[in-house]
A and B are shown apart, each in its own frame.
Chain A
Amino acid sequence: MSENTIHNNDYAVIGKSVPRIDGREKVTGAAKYTGDLKFPNMLYGKILTSPHAHARILSIDTSEAEKLAGVKAVITHKDVPSLKYGISPARWDENIFCIDKVRFVGDKVAAVACIDEETCYKALKLIKVEYEVLPAVLDPLTAMDEGQPLVHEEYERNINTEIHQEFGDMENAFKNAHHIRKDRFVGQRTYQSPIEPHSAISMWQDGKLTIYSSTQSPHYFQYYIAREFGMKMGDVRILKTYVGGGFGGKLEPTGLEFAGAVLAKNTGRPVKMFYDRAEMFAHNRGRHAQYMEITSAVDKDGKILGCHTNFIMDGGAYTSLGIASAYYAGALLPLTYEFDNYKFDMFRVYTNLPACGAQRGHGAPQPKYAFECHLDEIARDLNIDPLEIRIRNARRPNTVTPNDFGINSCEIKSCLERAGAMSGWAEKKGKLPKGRGIGVATGSFVSGAGYPIYRTNLPHASAMIKVHEDGTAATLYTGAVDIGQGSDTVLSQMAAEAMGFVYEQMKIVAADTETTPHDFGAYASRQTLMSGAAVKQAGEEVKRQLLDMAASMLQRPVYDLDVKAGEIFSISDSSVSLSFSDAAREFFVRRGPLVGKGSYTPPKLGGKFKGAAVGTSPAYSFCAQVSEVQIDEETGVIDVLDVWDVHDCGMVINPGLLHGQVHGALFMGLGESIWEQVLFDDKGKIVNANLAEYRLPTALDMPKVHSGLIDSYEPAGPWGVKEVGEGSTNPTMGCFANAIYDAMGVRINSLPLTYEKVWRALKEKREKEQAQK
């Protein structure tokens, strides 16, 4: 069930739920993913990984594996560059293959290329690695203690990064408070679990390396692969095929590209590398486990005066995108509610577990869960309705957060009011039958990061449109990456709108570092705004040239002409008309290719303090969510009945795709709230690296979703757009936790909110009540 709001009727192409440009191909199964591709002479490759969480490599003997029939190459750290890498230059701490020691179960040790998959598995078994097992660091809370083994010798006390930020006057805020409250929460380790496993096919031709990859960012792959092998970026071509989901887990090089590139070079044949489901879990880069303490000072009306967040993150064995995750965890917290005084402390620690990185919502969803629970507790202490306390604190447009993020459009108050009205909050709150509860929470997210992951002055996005020579079609060339979210569709709509053309005749070539212009890719919810801005500019350039041609064809001044939906018309004389195609064809005959280009660089954003760049964005989305749950008192079973999701995401280009994002985000949020958790045994090995025991929700588990929109316009975005992809993941965990509290009077202060935790909390509550009698 979805509620559409029409923002503006004046557009011919945007604002409409046109069918996906790739819908037919995907639904019929014709769409090719990297794993579907085959090349003549192609070999298959596999990586050998560590069975130990922490061990010194004493020796590696590949001789038996090399003797096996069908094995074409075996490589170890001796065969690859030893240059350290990582997606974030803040800490380059990974090697293609481990050199001296392995740091988690799944760390990469060697690789093989063979004539088929079966031979790969047999060859891997024949590689003899002698290990000296070392004591492992598995508990992030004690990882920093003196005397703990070190995951990386160069990082004392296993501290990967620490953050200490303070804004405003905390002392004063706390001194003048009517009420101060401290709560502690734990967020679990989750994994993105895209349906399509990671894969890469590498091949060489005349010193040029081409890699087909299931990636969210061809650009970062190209950059890091060129850097690792000392190549010119121009000699590395990365292409993405269709991608079956990423959610942050396919942003960085996976090791499949590095190993595959070397294997392909050594054998002179294309090499396809892939992870199976268990290997995906081991490679990980999912959500960090976070230990979160929040202390807030409020006045008697529940207005937040100051807030101190004190967090520890389990980073796993490598940095991945974790420095950004750590900053995001605290930096994004002041977005939804207005307060001036804020202190943020964070330690991200290394452990001998798989590395964590960016997962949909990045560092933000768990702190949001913690804060939304904390705010409900404050509301209860002060006897204020949970919806009301949020409305009182809701951020207003054109404000600045304590950590110097400028907010333009912001309709969070309307989102809350609408979610309240849609859900019947006033009629339900406090009046539902036993076992039934209603909860509320909010969310917000960046519409693209203000700065790229590594330091560069490249524009963030660029685009090129070529109108076909006969004028009947146009192709958009963009580096933007459709990983299922629908950017190919939305950007084609935007191109058509800007050119005055029709969506149905748009073609797109995307995410190929050789044929398409640069774009940083699909992360930080950036493409609708940033790639969209570049596309708009390119489309407008086409339009300008086209109208100039039309002016000379029609013998009219150019300012009297406009073009829309493929028809050129005169503003002053309705009898004049010329088709887009005819003018475009004539353009080609007289002047050559009709091409438009555009690029986008965000303005300089943010403050001056250390880490000020992380969390900056040209625009922020906002949302409010209300959910209603039913709890089985005897079993703790949580039944989410209805969810009302209201978004302020600026102008909506494609309402159908937008609501799809909201449903998808809710699906992920539901899983993270109730079921999903990566679990380890006492040796650091994942015990549920499969889809049977890592429980994603099924279709039957989905509640009814009511997705609503608030009219809003964002001045920093093309046509007023903002993001929806990640912000919509933010409120869910806190929203459910609050609804559970409302139903049963128990606070579950760790994720996931499992049936057993609810059952235990209810049992403890009963026992306590009995003891008091």
Chain B
Amino acid sequence: MDLTLKIWRQKDSQDRGGFQTHKVSDITPDTSFLEMLDILNDQLEKKNEDPVHFDHDCREGICGACSMYINGRPHGPQQGITTCQLHMRSFKDGDTITIEPWRAQPFPVIKDLIVDRTSFDRIIQAGGYISVGTGGVPDANEIPIPARVSNEAMDAAACIGCGACVAACKNASAMLFVAAKVSHLALLPQGNVEAQERAEKMVEQMDEEGFGSCTNTGACSAECPKGISLEHIARLNREYYFAKQSSDNIPAEDEVHGAG
């Protein structure tokens, strides 16, 4: 199939950037979306032009590197997959496809479709862990955990940190990402000890990074490639609420984080 691509090109974080139109032809349906971009880049390099830069690594939907809007939707038209899992059989001959980087103030563009997502790392650094060091831990079977609970924790832990939730949200809120981690750890007995403090610290960091507030529209979960559920946001709110009641070190901002 032959396609017209309208791609956001931006030299670096200082550049204003803009759309450029590129054409590719003879793309087969079993080509992946990123391979289609590889083909374009091959053409560009042969003409001595700068290839389109985009983040990618595993190309199987697990590293969370790939990140772009395709026709206005994070990770493209299909639900439940990342950009790298999208194949060209989802498009038809003659289509025009618009491709852009994540748009959110805490994710500044570095180049073309690549954005800076280190804000996510800093949120995890603020408390997205259980405070244990290496060694001196109990036997793994000492604390039985019901399979149901462990499964739910796994559902939350499946987040790949791609940022599509932020990109999908009109407020650029990172609630789903934060909730996934808070919920994963709070559900498990090992992580429950620090649950409230963790929620408080991670939310504070999220605010500091400039992510917007959550108004419960649910676009995040609908576009999340791993189907992270909104229930985790409810759990985060609960932990946060109790944390606020029992601590006075961080000012309450309940209205910012939606219903308790």
Same complex for A and B? Answer no
Q: Which residues of B contact A (CB under 8 A)?
A: none
